[in-house]
Amino acid sequence: MVEFPGGIKGMALNLESDNVGVVIFGDDSGIAEGDTVKRTGDIVDVPVGKGLLGRVVDALGNPIDGKGPIESEERRLVEVKAPGIIPRKSVNEPMQTGLKALDALVPVGRGQRELIIGDRQTGKTAVAIDTFINQKEMNRGDDESKKLYCIYVAVGQKRSSVAQIVKTLEDSGAMEYSIVVAATASEPAPL
């Protein structure tokens, strides 16, 4: 990672003899050609673990909910090669969304990532949020192996929409086993 004047951080992507390509994690309007840039000695990483439950974070794992710093057990590198298909544990346990039509038509496996796509205003967010809320019964028990943690990733949504989603999850008691990662439309593209 590198740091620009004003504390803005970035990640060096390519090093050439006469220039360095950097992805800027913040507002680039205060950065000018010829600014002094310092290397931090750090590699881009994010917090992981149960300390993130109930929190709203940006794409780099920084808290944006005003609840103070995140108390995570560990941090993991952002740039990691994903495991191949063979070494991955197969999805073999069904997960109930609580939406009968969806459970009957589209089987979803526990631990499976699920992309919800569709036209505007067709209820994609409502399906995701209702599924989160319907996991409350699973998460009530003491058996850790039965608990299902939910992560909602909002990319390109308005801040007000993300705030409304968080309020809905908090009001229903679903935020205690959920994490919201927000990369809103008002943030720089790299985030």
Cα dihedral sign, 33-39-43-46: negative
pLDDT, tens only, 34-74? 889 999 999 999 999 999 999 999 999 999 999 999 998 89
**Domain-embedded: residue 188:** no
Report how far apart the first and last C-alpha atoms of the chain are (Å, whole number): 15
pLDDT of 190 above 80 = no
Number of H helices, E strands in the chain: 4, 11
Say whether pLDDT at 179 is over 90.
Answer: yes
Q: Mean pLDDT, to the nearest integer, of 156-164?
A: 92
Residue 34's pLDDT is 86
What pLDDT sits at residue 191? 62
189 located within any domain? no
2 lies in the same domain as 65 = no
- Are 157 and 119 in a shared domain? yes
What percentage of the chain carries pLDDT values higher than 70?
Answer: 99
* 35 lies in the same domain as 99: no
Residues 62 and 123 reside in one and the same domain? yes
Closest CA to 31 of 5, 10, 11, 9: 5
Query: Is 125 domain-assigned?
Result: yes
- The pTM score is 0.85
177, part of any domain? yes
The percentage of the chain sitting over the pLDDT mark of 90, rounded to a whole number, equals 52
Count other Cβ atoms within 10 Å, centred on residue 154: 20
pLDDT of res. 132? 92
Which contacts of 32-40 are long-range, i.e. CB under 8 A and separated by 24 or more positions?
A: 35/4, 35/5, 36/5, 37/2, 37/3, 37/4, 37/10, 38/2, 38/3, 39/1, 39/2, 39/3, 39/12, 40/1, 40/2, 40/3, 40/9
Same domain for 119 and 174? yes
Q: Tell me, yes or no, whether 22 and 64 share the same domain.
A: no
Instruction: Return the amino acid letter for 178.
Output: S
Q: Dihedral of the CA atoms 57, 63, 66, 68 (nearest 10)?
A: 140
Per-residue pLDDT, 178: 95
Q: How many domains does the chain have?
A: 2
Residue predicted with more confidence, 107 or 172: 172
Here the CATH number for the domain that contains residue 17 is 2.40.30.20
Round the average pLDDT of the chain to a whole number and report it.
90
Shared-domain flag, residues 38 and 130: no
Token pair for 183: 């990369």
Please check whether residue 167 lies inside any domain of the structure: yes
Whole-angstrom distance, CA of residue 92 vs CA of residue 81: 24
Closest among 37, 68, 70, 38 to 51, alpha carbons compared: 70
Residue 189 has pLDDT above 80, yes or no: no
Note the pLDDT of residue 73. 86
Asked whether residue 34 falls in the same domain as residue 11, the answer is yes
CATH of the domain at 154: 3.40.50.300
Residue 65 sits in the same domain as residue 136: yes
Nearest to 98 by CA among 90, 88, 89, 108: 108
Predicted pLDDT at 20: 87
Side-chain half-sphere CA neighbours of 14 within 13 A? 5
* Shared domain check, 52 and 3: no
Instruction: Assess whether 137 and 164 both reside in one domain.
Output: yes
Domain assignment of residue 190, yes or no = no
Q: Are residues 2 and 63 in the same domain?
A: no
Residue 14 included in any domain? yes
Pairwise pLDDT comparison (55 vs 87), residue with the higher score: 55
3-state secondary structure of 123: coil
Residue 153 has pLDDT above 90, yes or no: yes
Give residue 28's domain range: 1-42
